[in-house]
Structure 1
Amino acid sequence: MPFLTSPVLPPGTLNRAPQPVIPSGDGLLLRPWRAEDAPAVHQAFQDPLMHQWHVRAADSEDEVGPWIEGWRKVWDTERDAQWAVTDAESDRLLGRVALREIVLADGVAEVAYWTTPAARGRGVAARATTTLSRWALDEVGFHRLELMHAVANEASCRVATKTGFALEGVKRSALLHPDGWHDMHLHARLQGD
């Protein structure tokens, strides 16, 4: 039975080329992960805020190594795309930004991010999210990007709003965190917003 619509983005849209390095134009660089990022990622995951809003912990740099290898390899699958967010001059790790749950045929992906403690309060999450969103929507041609965060995570809500992701609703009891089930805000940004 034939489809009545064509895919928004065909297979190979992402992986026909190497994962790009994307400059923000304001001091950040989104670049593919490197094995040597392990100490900085391990350090970032020692932060209590990471434990509050994320479901993973990192007990050692050796444990982080396979995470990074996985983040590097997902580009080829076209189901996820992960970038290290760094200072453009020093290459110091400031965070991570990603497209997750990519469905090329529908032109949809979910944006996710985290920042290191030293990067917080400097607009890093918002700047990295804006940079990735512009690239995904304007250059690649995604139709819709979604962003979810725990309703109680007010900082992430500010990032979503600041970066043009409209609040669409609440997904009740949608994600299990270490302290129990959390309602999640669902934000989205469309091509042309």
Structure 2
Amino acid sequence: MLFNTDDILETTRMITQNKLDVRTITMGISLRDCGHPDIKVTAHKIYDKICRKAEHLVKTGEDIEVELGVPIINKRISVTPISMVGESCDSNDYVPLAQALDNAGKQVGVNFIGGFSALVDKGYTKGDRNLIAAIPEALAVTDIVCSSVSVGSTKCGINMDAVKQMGEVVKAAAERTADRDAIGCAKLVVFCN
């Protein structure tokens, strides 16, 4: 394939003058098969699967940057909502699962790992409640983990109990990370589809 000079110069101008970049590439990984009654086993399975599946993610992103000549700012991973994975565990404390995500993400070199999440627009499960309770601590003890909670949807309506609870969780996440510019609440998304 041949490129003409004008196209090359235009692309160069877009990168240098207009700061053209690819904001994020994301690899999705299903963790549904990682559940186990022992939370330590679940955490270990999560870590192993992410490290195995995303082993080449950052290198592939860097290769694409070189090939296309366009910077990719963030390389990230998104996983199955941890509230679903954690439901198989006997433990009510999901912080170890957040730590497993954080450690795996750091091992493979990504900027962020999302999925410390729950979907409560149709109501709460045990896993949803455990995950939401763990969010402030989980975001305080991790560096690259991001959390989200879907509190509503057009189809199901809005879970107002969850809206109230998430207001409290955002505040608690900010307080737990106040020494770091309240980064905890900046890594938390509460949304309605």
Normalized against structure 1, the TM-score is what?
Answer: 0.36
- Give the number of the structure whose alpha-carbon radius of gyration is greater: 2
Which of the two has greater strand per residue? 1
Which of the two has greater helix per residue? 2
